[in-house]
Structure 1
Amino acid sequence: MTMALRLLVRRSSSLSLYRPVTLIHPQQQLSPFPFPFQSRGYVSEMRKSAFEDRIRRLIRNDIQYELDRSPLTQLVPKFKSFSIDERTGEQWIRLNKEFGPKEEIKVEVTMFQVSAPPAAAKDGAVTTANDLELYISMVVDIFKDEKTGILEFVCNVWPESVEIDKVFMRDQDGMTGKPYLGPPFNDLDDELQTSLYDFLEARGIDDELAVFLHKCMQHKSKNEYIRWMGSIESFVARKK
């Protein structure tokens, strides 16, 4: 066998040891996920699940932190002669009582707001963060009979006092148009202001009620916050 023939046979034998190479068309793309369980949809779903688990964990941690500080409690149903409607899931509560044989009193109290109390809001004084306190907005409606209107007091309830902001008469069907609501309360005669405070105090709208309402609304705010967090956690956990 000649030298050239031996080289040809040797080259043919060595080539047979390798698998043939398959050429790929330039427009043909290889999948970056060669296995079914590594599809993009699977990875996306895994990331979504991890993200939702993190949200739920953060919510549960926050709820547990609040519960460790103080337990979730129901508001008391009565305070003195007032009955209390907690209005679960809403931002306000209602108190009702009867005063004497003819009067009915309805009190509506909303969530906390922040402002400077009257003592700190002096003319020309600069209000600082240290002056700010939580207060509650309160509307007191006093009914006598269907023939008369409603005497309404709009008040700010501070931690230990009640401040009258406005007092006026309105119809039992509500207000229409732009009725005259009287002057600012502080513009009234000092003796008349004192008499109107005495009028409310005689009906249980006093400093003791202010202290109770602040404690009551603290519980209300906490309860509503935990319910709100729980509803979000339940929604995130819900599967399609």
Structure 2
Amino acid sequence: MSALRCLRTLTSSSGRTSLRVSSSTRRSLTTFVNSANHRSANAFAVGGTRGFKVSSCARGEGASAADIALVSKLKEEIKYEKETAAEVGEPEFIKEFESHGTWKIHESPGQDEVTLTRTFGNESIRVMFSISDIDGSQNDASEDEVTENEDGTPFGGYPIRCSVAITKPDGGALTFDTLLQEGAFVVDTIPYYSDSALGTDLTAEADWKRRGLYIGPRYDQLDTGVQEEFEKYLEERGIGEGLAMFIPEYAEYKEQKEYLSWLKGVTKFIEA
């Protein structure tokens, strides 16, 4: 959930997570039902049962008062999200990030995973993260936990899991299982695979093979000197504070787009 939407939910008594229908919506529904009943009674009085007509929104094809109320709410949310997107416009942080020409962003509409790639000497580097990580962390946030960026916009310090894979042409892959939190990559483990395909393939078969392999000790169990050198190793490859600040912003931007697309898809389904 985006920080803006999270803050809106916290400060609104009619958040999306509630299934209760507001009093204004109930009044609208009551007016609709009474009006429909009045039209139905007139139809029977004038032409009997054969003259009875039902509007296209209530022909027994799945539409109901609940459908109508839900669609109304969904459209309100779509309107709000569009207005917010229009106010924000194209994020400058993405333009600036891409202008350096170091990392390439790979993402597809409807997918929750994002991949960043670059080369460093003879190495190919891939950083993967999922926007779904930001949802669960902010759903339980309290109003006091919503902080602000320097520009005054809400920012959540939610953790995001990132998988870093570094491969070389002669084979082998060094991977870093990390948790991105508070502007830093917190390393958990550093698995090494002599077969680069085994270390980077996203297939179920490769995942199954990896489960039986030794992945090395936990990072915090390594000698502090070794830890420091690994941090320098990653920093030299651009995996440091700058990237750690960019990923949460991009995850939130991507999640916002996917949320709007989801709203439109669900609305279209219910109206069909």
Q: What TM-score, normalized to structure 1?
A: 0.69
Aligned to 1:186: 220
Q: CA RMSD in A?
A: 3.0
1:2-17 alignment runs, 5 A limit: none
Q: Distance in 2 between matches of 1:93 and 1:172?
A: 20
**Conserved 8 A contact 1:96-1:104:** yes
**Conserved 8 A contact 2:177-2:189:** yes
Aligned to 1:144: 168
Q: Distance in 1 between matches of 2:83 and 2:55?
A: 40
**DSSP-derived class of the 1:48 partner:** coil
1:1-240 alignment runs, 5 A limit: 34-38=48-52, 45=59, 48=63, 50-71=65-86, 73=90, 78=98, 80=100, 81-100=102-121, 102-111=122-131, 112-113=133-134, 133-145=157-169, 147-170=170-193, 171-174=195-198, 175=206, 176=209, 178-238=212-272
Task: Give the drift of 1:107.
Answer: 1.0
Q: Distance in 1 between matches of 2:177 and 2:127?
A: 10
Percent identity, aligned pairs only, is 23
**Conserved 8 A contact 1:167-1:182:** yes
Q: Distance in 2 between matches of 1:148 and 1:231?
A: 44
Q: Distance in 1 between matches of 2:98 and 2:72?
A: 37
Aligned partner letter, 2:68: D
Q: Distance in 1 between matches of 2:240 and 2:56?
A: 63
**DSSP-derived class of the 2:171 partner:** coil
Task: Indicate how the Cα distance of structure 1 residues 53 and 43 shifts in structure 2: closer, same or farther if over 3 A, else same.
Answer: closer
Aligned partner letter, 1:83: K
- Note the alpha carbon deviations across 1:132-171, whole angstroms, 9 max, x for none: 94111111111111x3211001111114111111111122
Task: Indicate how the Cα distance of structure 1 residues 213 and 153 shifts in structure 2: closer, same or farther if over 3 A, else same.
Answer: same
Task: Give the drift of 1:50.
Answer: 4.5
Aligned partner letter, 1:66: E
**DSSP-derived class of the 2:188 partner:** strand
Aligned to 1:118: none
Aligned partner letter, 1:142: I
Q: Distance in 1 between matches of 2:246 and 2:53?
A: 60
Unaligned segments of structure 2, at least 5 residues? 1-43, 138-143, 147-155, 199-205
Aligned partner letter, 2:167: F
Structure having the higher Rg: 1
Q: What TM-score, normalized to structure 2?
A: 0.62
Q: Distance in 1 between matches of 2:224 and 2:259?
A: 41
Moved more, 172-181 or 202-211: 172-181
Task: Give the drift of 1:223.
Answer: 0.5
Higher relative contact order (CA 8 A, sep 6+): 2
**DSSP-derived class of the 1:228 partner:** helix
Task: Indicate how the Cα distance of structure 1 residues 161 and 229 shifts in structure 2: closer, same or farther if over 3 A, else same.
Answer: same
